[in-house]
C-alpha cells in the first residue's frame, strides 16, 4: 500500500503542483515550446495535463486494473520524457537525472502492478 501511495503522490505532485497550482515555469516553458502550440493555449494545456496526471494518480492508488494502469503510466512517462527532450531540452536542467529518476519511478510502478492483489481484476 505504501508503494502505491508513493506512485500516486508522484502523479499528484507532477500534475497538480507542477502544472496546475502554483505551476512551475520550466513546465510552462516546455509546453510552450511544443510545435504549433499557440501561447494562449499553454495554460489550458498545462491544466489539462495536470488534471489528467492527478487522475492517473487516483487510478494507481485504487489498485484497479493494476497491470493496465502500469502500461498506461509507462506510456505517459515515455511520451512526457520524449516530448520534454525533443521540444524543451533547453528547460531541463539535468536530463540524465530526469531519465534516471523516471526509470526508478517506472520500476516502482511495475513493482506495484506485480504485487497488487487486484492486478487481474477487470
Distance between alpha carbon 44 and the CA centroid of its chain, in Å?
A: 17
Tens-digit pLDDT profile for residues 50-85: 999 999 999 999 999 999 999 999 999 999 999 999
CA–CA gap between residue 22 and residue 88 (Å, rounded): 20
Q: Is the pLDDT of residue 121 over 60?
A: no
Closest CA to 57 of 39, 77, 38: 77
CA–CA gap between residue 109 and residue 105 (Å, rounded): 6
Q: Is the pLDDT of residue 120 over 60?
A: no
- Residue 65: the pLDDT is 95
- Residue 24: the pLDDT is 94
CB 69 within 8 A of CB 59: yes
Query: Which band of pLDDT confidence, cut at 50, 70 and 90, is reported for residue 118?
Result: low
- Residue 1: the pLDDT is 87
Q: Is the pLDDT of residue 116 over 90?
A: no
CB 69 within 8 A of CB 114: no
- Residue 81: the pLDDT is 97
Q: Is the pLDDT of residue 21 over 70?
A: yes
Q: Is the pLDDT of residue 48 over 80?
A: yes
Amino acid at each position: 500500500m505504501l508503494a502505491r501511495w508513493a506512485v500516486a503522490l508522484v502523479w499528484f505532485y507532477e500534475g497538480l503542483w507542477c502544472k496546475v497550482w502554483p505551476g512551475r515555469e520550466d513546465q510552462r516553458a516546455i509546453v510552450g515550446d511544443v510545435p504549433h502550440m499557440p501561447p494562449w493555449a499553454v495554460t489550458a494545456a498545462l491544466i489539462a495535463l495536470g488534471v489528467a496526471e492527478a487522475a492517473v494518480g487516483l487510478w494507481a492508488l485504487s489498485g484497479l486494473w493494476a497491470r493496465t494502469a502500469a502500461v498506461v503510466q509507462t506510456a505517459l512517462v515515455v511520451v512526457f520524457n520524449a516530448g520534454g527532450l525533443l521540444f524543451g531540452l533547453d528547460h531541463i536542467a539535468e536530463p540524465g537525472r530526469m531519465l534516471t529518476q523516471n526509470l526508478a519511478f517506472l520500476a516502482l510502478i511495475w513493482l506495484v502492478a506485480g504485487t497488487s492483489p487486484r492486478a487481474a481484476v477487470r
